[in-house]
Structure 1
Amino acid sequence: MLANKKEIFIKNRENWKITIFELPESDIFGKKFVAECIKEPDLLKTAWFCQNQGEAYSRACNLVDEFEIQQERLRIFMEHYAVIKDLYLMIIYLSNGDKHNHYLNNNREKSKENFTSVSCCNGFDFEIINGLVAEGLLELSTTKKSMTMKKKGMKAAREVLQKTNIDGVNRLLEQREYHEEYINYKSQLDIMEEQEEEE
């Protein structure tokens, strides 16, 4: 049936070519229109068995748009992951302790011979978080399950990131350039808090 399909029209959408076909026979619901969406070099999406040409084209556009949205989400995720992955690795590595096998060769001393890994807890080291809170870089919620980073913490984080040599960091900082405006702006409340700290 698909081999004998008849081409009705072709339209371009972004970098996609959408072709609407009419099949020689309809399905049990009377639907006999199909749309093929092709993006070079080898992407193919198909909208199957539609009632009419308009429905086939509309479903094809939805397929194409949804695919492009997913690709954009993936691109953004990969950009962030490329930076965050290294940061997480550094934080986990630096904030946790060495793990040793105390029973290896009956040796209870910590040594390179019985070293097994760097231990990793589910969450950050509580003392480090407390230190950041004490410095005013973070605020913990009352349940201590979530954290808020305000101006002082954001400024410190951006300064650390600017000093790193990780691919993609500059792009992420540029995307959040508006944070600089937020950090440097002083509201009446900020001025009052500064005056209280000075007293």
Structure 2
Amino acid sequence: MKFLYFVEKLGHFFFRRRSYASIPLFAFFFLFGRSSWHFFFLAMILIISGELIRIWAVSFSGPATRTRIIKAPFLAVRGPYEIIRHPIYFGNLLVGLGFTFSLTRNFIHILLFVAFFIVFYGSIIFAEERFLENRFQEEWVRYKEKVPLIIPRYFKKPYFGDLKTAFKSERSTFITISVILFLALFKLFVFPRLNFW
């Protein structure tokens, strides 16, 4: 019980810092990793796919996903939320893997990102689901029983919600993607063998 309480508190702590918590990790990959053009093109596919999933999700969940505290004015159950309960974090996984591959091809570095993602977003998801269960009660329980956590059981033809709001909400993500890709290209073009290790 104490452990679950700790995980929930940790999830709230991480949620408030989720916009910048991964910066040291990607800075480490930039300094000590070596990528390649093959990995960079794979990274582009992952980043674009992940960001499209994020846009799709935010078009239904709205700008409440950008707050610094966990809250939900309504329970999002349409669009990608019909397939998985946390499509934004699934998109984050793809984008984060893309960032990693754009900066390093080191297997240990990739495992390091995966471990970071599991601990960081696992805690956030636990805290969010506790909040949603308290906020929406039976509605949440019924939804949780039908829809898997983060790995989809099936795929369906996408339809979109409020794309204007989604694109507006994702501006900071677009900037982050641009900065990471610029650094990755800079490293590949200017210092193809840059490695401070």
Q: Sort the TM-score into its range (normalised by shorter chain).
A: under 0.3
Higher Rg of the two aligned structures: 1
Task: State the TM-score, normalized to the length of structure 2.
Answer: 0.23
Bigger RCO (CA 8 Å, 6+ sep): 2
- Answer 1 or 2: which has greater helix percent: 2
Task: State the TM-score, normalized to the length of structure 1.
Answer: 0.23
